[in-house]
Amino acid sequence: MRRLAVAALLALLLPASASAACPELRTLEGELMCPTCETTLELSNAPAANQIRRFVCERAAAGDSNGEIKDKLVADFGPGVLASPPKEGFDLLAWALPLLALGLGAAAIAVLVVRWSRAREPELAVDEPSSNGRPELDPALEKRLDDELARFE
Amino acid sequence: MGQIAAIGLVAGLLALLVWKVAGGSESEVEGLRNGKTPPAPGFSLPRLGGGGKLSLESYRGKAVVVNFWASWCIPCKAEAPLLEQAWRRYRDRGLVVVGVNSQDLSSDARRFAKEVGWTYPLVRDGAGDILGPYAVAAFPETFFVDRRGKLVARVDGEVSEDDLASNIELALA
CA angle, A25 then A31 then A33, to 5° = 95
The arrangement of secondary structure in B28-172, i.e. its CATH architecture, is 3-Layer(aba) Sandwich (3.40)
Confidence class for position A10, pLDDT limits 50, 70, 90: very low
Q: Is the pLDDT score of A27 beyond 50? A: yes
Is B117 within 8 Å of B110 (Cβ atoms)?
A: no
Query: Are the Cβ atoms of B103 and A55 closer than 8 angstroms?
Result: no
Distance from chain centroid for Cα B1: 51
Residue B154: which of B164, B169, B165, B144 has the closest Cα?
B144
Q: Which DSSP state fits B120?
A: S
Question: Does A49 reach chain B within 8 Å, measured CB to CB?
Answer: no
Residue numbers in B near A52 (CB within 8 A)? 105
Q: How many CB atoms lie within 10 A of CB B135?
A: 17
User: Does residue B87 surpass a pLDDT of 70?
Assistant: yes
Asked which of A95-104, A116-125, B116-125, B146-155 is least confident by mean pLDDT, the reply is A116-125
Distances (CA, A) of B173 to A72, A96, B44: 44, 55, 25
Q: What is the structure's pLDDT at A18?
A: 54
Question: How far is the C-alpha of B121 from the C-alpha of A18, rounded, in Å?
Answer: 38
Of B25-34, B105-114, B158-167, the range with the lowest mean pLDDT is B25-34
Shortest distance between the Cα of A10 and any Cα of chain B, in A, equals: 25
Q: Which residues on chain A are in Cβ contact (under 8 Å) with B70?
A: 48
Q: Domain limits of chain B? A: 28-172
Contact A21, A10 (CB under 8 A): no
Name residue A44's amino acid.
S
CATH superfamily of this structure's domain A2-84: Cytochrome C biogenesis protein (1.10.8.640)
Interface test with A, best of B105, B106, B108, B139 (most A CBs within 10 A): B105
Q: What is the pLDDT of residues A55-97, one digit of tens each?
A: 999 999 999 999 999 999 999 999 999 998 766 666 667 767 8
Domain limits, chain A: 2-84, 92-120+129-152
| Å between B24 CA and nearest CA of chain A | 17
pLDDT, tens digit (0-9, with 9 covering 90-100), for B118-148:
999 999 999 999 999 999 999 999 999 999 9
